[in-house]
Structure 1
């Protein structure tokens, strides 16, 4: 037995590592030699430039100061577009020198590319690696390079990467002239209504490259399925779940390999004897494992996100680990059912129905500069908005495993689109498109490549518990010869556990109710409309504004362009904005109609401050309105959209630099799992319980305040609410109308538990009978008392006190500043922000920040609170 232990321990020397530094690049026009010559160590790279890999040509050019930052001002217009320069301009060689010894004793060395855009030729030490063409943005490729490695361990890899073909004319249309979609690649790079064209169309080795060393068997694409029958609770003793595991085994040798495929879970070993013929690959299914009392994975807001970790191993001859894969997975099961009342699907997790509160996601960075830290911050922001789902829009990509790992941690379900859009793929007549609808309907040109890529991407992300649904495309189905095999063959074979929707607003997902609005709208709405106007009962896209505050705007708009948009009553667009604002997709969506009631903006800072009031009110009202009709009108809603992959102004809860605006906190308030809210139409106070348990012995405190801070208690009453339900309490319309008639009023709604701790605090402000917030502009200044202390590494507790006798300290933005620069620390996570503090009351806010900034400074600034700064104790 001791010999087996020694053999297994020694085998851990096999490993995997990334080739993510030390790359060099040169334009194809500057390299006259062939790949066989360039990939020799004797070939001089003296004049080659440093390259960013993973990355694109443009990210490397930016790193080498050859182009200006395209996200600032009008800089993107200064960068040549590939449509005008020709593809050779952005065709580049990339080289990487690395050390890896020539293997012996049956060991194998593998080279893997997790993504190139769009096609490439690969050379190693004077030999061509890819005998077959390698093209398609969404296709991993692994090559056995064991016999191509240098005998002295010094190796050179050379890759020439060609751009998509065609590249598309960025003519201002959605996806430009549409022909970018003839490739199996992302479509937004030719421009959209929320982004300008990416000039190189993201050509390059854009995803990870790594070397893996194995024994005779390469273990690939492990697959884990968990079955959780019945309706489960989030705590207590659980009935058993079933774990099903399989994997592909590739024998790279010329001899038959015998061995054991196995893993150990919770002390139980699951294994199977396997025999793999020479040069063959087989898929092996292990015996089902019955997991007793499993720790279940739940979406955010419902329960814990427990994850299991195990190693799947192939042990050659029962003695030597040939290869292993670390597997992290959650035990959960996704189900769907049709809701006959709403006429839409509803989602169940572990047998419990979940009201979907989601956000649409494009991509983390438009130039594909992905990091684990950024993924973590962005997904955490979505969790902090009290959302439970992210939809990956079809004009982008299958998100990376690192994205899904963050979603697994934070409990975000994912609806993943494939690479189609109604705009490029022919759903509508579009004069901006080069080709007619019938032609566009058959995009992409290579249907086999699409299906091959889809199958590979399914294998890449299918083990993540967060992945909940697949979608054929954005607002259009794939062509029939893609849709049918994808739906009926590929997905059932490679996954088989998730709901597949043929397109994002399909009848399979949600009927368009007669008299309803369909999906959208995408602009500022009267808050009342979210309560009284029906849309799709499972709405995949509905949203509004998202302009950041002044500090956000100055990150990408030059000072000379900091100009307040000018109203254009009765015209379209309804506002005239500075050209830089327009370039960054400020589209005249009618902010002035919502800002004017707060008073005409005096400058951009004032405009941006008042915009935050609109932002907060819009997104709180949107989610509260949908929640008020939970299960009778709606089974879910997905915001269009919650983030921007560049410095745009449309649809974002935080800016490109990860600075949240008031949209995030308004959406957070409206999306609480247990919420108390007020219908703006009839003044009815309502309770919402998104949880799976009945809530009893709740104390509801309903108060109003006038502009001087005078409090009036309307009622304080005990209440209860059933699981996953909405309950009307009483109407406060009469009291609000009377109090707000002249100057407006405030409404405070609180839920307290049996210990008199506040579970929910919702605060509204109302205009006067003319629809103007006249009283806000007359409010007296408040000297808010701010006290901050460190309560852990990267964690601060802030207490805000408003002395008795004051008016309400209204709408305060809390910021954590770097003392060296005076700028905000980003990202930073506030458990609440844009907060109001009642007279004689105190509010506590917890801030967490991962950045190692010493001695940060707290800034507090509100509507009637002058900015004050405090040191952290």
Structure 2
């Protein structure tokens, strides 16, 4: 018994040590290469003084470190970016830095210690305790690097790590072109950093130890790159018992020692374990595959709006002599993603677990242009996409393959991911471009080092392939990779390392969306007449369709100086700061609400346009679901910089009306009105027929008088859209020259509202004169927090009032008055009918005392403390 307890204790000790993985994310210092006359061997010695070195931000970029040390102004504010030296003009040494970190670690028993870098941009050499770690120069932003440092650690456990990081060899001239002069793409780095039409140049081109640095401790075996495939055959429903799913698992097993290691390799899921006896030769890495597991009655993972996102815990272990040598822990969603060509639309059809999914997506650039990533920010941004009722995010090719934390959030919230590789039509030569330094034939072969690209692709595929949310691969944005990269990618790398996901050669290729309309196969990118989304057929799976996105006044105040708060006017050049932050015109669409008085007035009227624009976009695509379209992806839903276009929330995570208009138009069950012929349509994105739905249509004039059009029962089949009835005759009879409100609702048998859609229509002259003259109202506002982190805000409008129109609700800190960001509203920019109330739920993190601020078109700004 005593022998057993000792063995158990040893087993626990080995297991605990094997699981030691921690980040080196604080205590770093740095210095510019021009201020250091010593080499890496000297700097990494403990007796080398770094007392006067600057505190460094790791993970982070050089620019982030300089900003945090107040060496540069905030490049996201005003014209500050112009005050920061650009690497193209200074030369690379200006942003070449030494980074140093002291840490405690020593080897115990048979431990192996691993130093892991998840991302360095662009070239680096690493030194530890006076010795060089990497035999060859580290090159390439999109590549993990791991080193066994067991024999290099100091006997007393006091260690020093020194890393020199150089910017890309080719930083590109930021001449105003898309990706500047294009030469940024000669290396394997972020193309957007030379500037784009939605961002100014990032001055250091993201140079730095930009991603996590980790120490991992194992015993004599290191498990790497587990691969989990789930097969869910047949057509599944969300509820009820499920037929079995098949789980396929493999893992790389590395033995860094000189001796053979024997043991049991096993993995566990849903309480079941699959084991295999293995023998790993010394100094060898073997990929081991397990026998298939048939999982009975699995809980499935579904995209947002279709079902729950169930995630299983999976543990992969290597056990020898009752001790755990290493273990990898994962969360896995059981689902199958397929692609079936739709002959009707001539475009890709996305299927999950055998069910066709109408794609409602958003294009994503990167979370932060200066790569200041965090789990919390990723979670908030992906939750906003969930709140928009979207089901897919496409990651654009001019940035990165996103981080595992991004995918964790997509797994959690049910956002499918369409992942581009690192190519763009702009930098990589699709078009003649006078802004580019080199010709198309030369640019077509970027990056210069194709072997490096293939190595990086293999590594990054292994990093993210287990995520349930990862749905599709894409060779590049609007262009394929060079042929000697594309062919290995298609015919070797992805079949060998993934094998379950389709690869589209490029983002608007005919294999994804057959282009019969000419042009590039995507766009447009500017504001559109809302009618056009319903009436004009575009590309059957539009990978990029974009528009405006100015935030409200509080948003603008965060990055525009007071003296530049000058409202843009139609057909006039905007203020220089607005122009610098990439404002695109709202054209004639603001003027019908009345001539703009100032920036605050413009920002409010822009929200009306924002809401209408994005609701109409998604409603128009949904109205032709499976007839014209299998989906669309908005360009774009977020900004990594303080730009003013294509964003449902600003850089500071403050949502604007774009988000709530899109949320409304993307509802899984939705009632809507075609602006062309006033036809009321019903949309059901679910997998079941819905019966006994009451469809209600009413109109209200500017005084709040109600006119009932119809109230009828209807049903709708699964994954379909149905035309119901036209309101044109009813609206013509009203003949309201100054505009009218239309309320559409779906009620269930208990008279609960399932969908509530509210339109404001202009008069016959296209002007909103009625809105300009509508009487003010004072709705009653109550705010209650019964559960911490969840505030219920109720707006009540008296019976004899006009509509309380277009009210913004903002949760604020009760002391400072500043908005709490992020905060998640289940609706916003709401209108409250006469004699009715609406309750909005707001969720947030924090312990501060809160208040709610409400203002609307005809509702004065009011602040109410939360009870």
The bucket for the TM-score relative to the shorter chain is over 0.9
The answer to whether the 8 Å contact 2:508/2:520 transfers is no
| Distance in 2 of aligned mates of 1:228 and 1:316 | 34
The answer to whether the 8 Å contact 1:740/1:766 transfers is no
Q: 1:205 aligns with which of 209, 212, 215?
A: 209
The answer to whether the 8 Å contact 1:513/1:535 transfers is no
Q: 1:7 Cα shift?
A: 4.0
Q: 1:516 Cα shift?
A: 8.9
What TM-score results when the alignment is normalised by the length of structure 1?
Answer: 0.98
1:584 partnered with 2:581: yes
Gaps of at least 5 residues in structure 1 are: 569-574
1:304 partnered with 2:308: yes
Q: 1:2 Cα shift?
A: 5.8
The answer to whether the 8 Å contact 2:15/2:326 transfers is no
Equivalent in the alignment of 2:836: 841
Equivalent in the alignment of 2:634: 639
The answer to whether the 8 Å contact 2:27/2:102 transfers is yes
Q: 1:855 aligns with which of 841, 845, 849?
A: 849
1:243 partnered with 2:243: no
Q: Deviations over 1:796-818 (max 9, x none)?
A: 01111111011000000001111
| Distance in 1 of aligned mates of 2:363 and 2:197 | 15
| Distance in 2 of aligned mates of 1:274 and 1:850 | 47
Where does 1:508-547 land on structure 2 (aligned, <5 Å)?
Answer: 508-514=511-517, 518-547=521-550
Equivalent in the alignment of 2:386: 383
Equivalent in the alignment of 1:185: 189
1:464 partnered with 2:461: no
| Distance in 2 of aligned mates of 1:484 and 1:598 | 54
Give secondary structure in 2 for the equivalent of 1:567: coil
1:398 partnered with 2:395: no
Q: 2:739 aligns with which of 725, 741, 744?
A: 744
Q: 1:733 Cα shift?
A: 1.2
Q: 1:567 Cα shift?
A: 2.4
Equivalent in the alignment of 1:826: 821
| Distance in 1 of aligned mates of 2:85 and 2:608 | 40
Equivalent in the alignment of 1:703: 698
1:663 partnered with 2:666: no
| Distance in 2 of aligned mates of 1:59 and 1:36 | 27
Q: 1:514 Cα shift?
A: 4.0
| Distance in 2 of aligned mates of 1:451 and 1:415 | 19
Q: 1:287 aligns with which of 266, 283, 291?
A: 291
The answer to whether the 8 Å contact 1:585/1:650 transfers is yes
| Distance in 2 of aligned mates of 1:250 and 1:760 | 55
Q: 1:513 Cα shift?
A: 2.7
| Distance in 2 of aligned mates of 1:642 and 1:251 | 45
Equivalent in the alignment of 1:92: 97
Where does 1:571-610 land on structure 2 (aligned, <5 Å)?
Answer: 575-587=572-584, 589=585, 591-610=586-605
| Distance in 1 of aligned mates of 2:765 and 2:208 | 57
Give secondary structure in 2 for the equivalent of 1:576: coil
Equivalent in the alignment of 1:42: 47
Q: Deviations over 1:328-349 (max 9, x none)?
A: 1000000010100000010000
Aligned pair in 2 of structure 1 residues 665, 740: CA closer, same or farther (>3 Å)?
farther
Q: Deviations over 1:495-534 (max 9, x none)?
A: 0111110000011101113479931111111111000111
Equivalent in the alignment of 2:71: 66
Equivalent in the alignment of 2:441: 438
| Distance in 1 of aligned mates of 2:368 and 2:600 | 27
1:174 partnered with 2:178: yes
Where does 1:228-627 land on structure 2 (aligned, <5 Å)?
Answer: 228-317=232-321, 319-514=322-517, 518-568=521-571, 575-587=572-584, 589=585, 591-627=586-622
Where does 1:688-767 land on structure 2 (aligned, <5 Å)?
Answer: 688-767=683-762
The answer to whether the 8 Å contact 2:389/2:668 transfers is yes
1:678 partnered with 2:681: no
Q: 1:162 aligns with which of 158, 162, 166?
A: 166
| Distance in 2 of aligned mates of 1:47 and 1:769 | 71
| Distance in 2 of aligned mates of 1:262 and 1:792 | 43
Equivalent in the alignment of 1:571: none
1:54 partnered with 2:59: yes
Q: 1:791 Cα shift?
A: 2.4
1:864 partnered with 2:858: yes
Range with greater deviation from structure 2 (508-517 or 552-561): 508-517
Range with greater deviation from structure 2 (188-197 or 736-745): 736-745
What TM-score results when the alignment is normalised by the length of structure 2?
Answer: 0.99
| Distance in 1 of aligned mates of 2:115 and 2:437 | 39
Deviating above 3 A after TM superposition, structure 1's stretches of 4 or more consecutive aligned residues are: 1-8, 514-518
Aligned pair in 2 of structure 1 residues 515, 150: CA closer, same or farther (>3 Å)?
closer
Q: 1:3 Cα shift?
A: 6.2
The answer to whether the 8 Å contact 1:644/1:656 transfers is yes
Q: 1:269 Cα shift?
A: 1.4
Give secondary structure in 2 for the equivalent of 1:762: strand
| Distance in 2 of aligned mates of 1:368 and 1:473 | 21
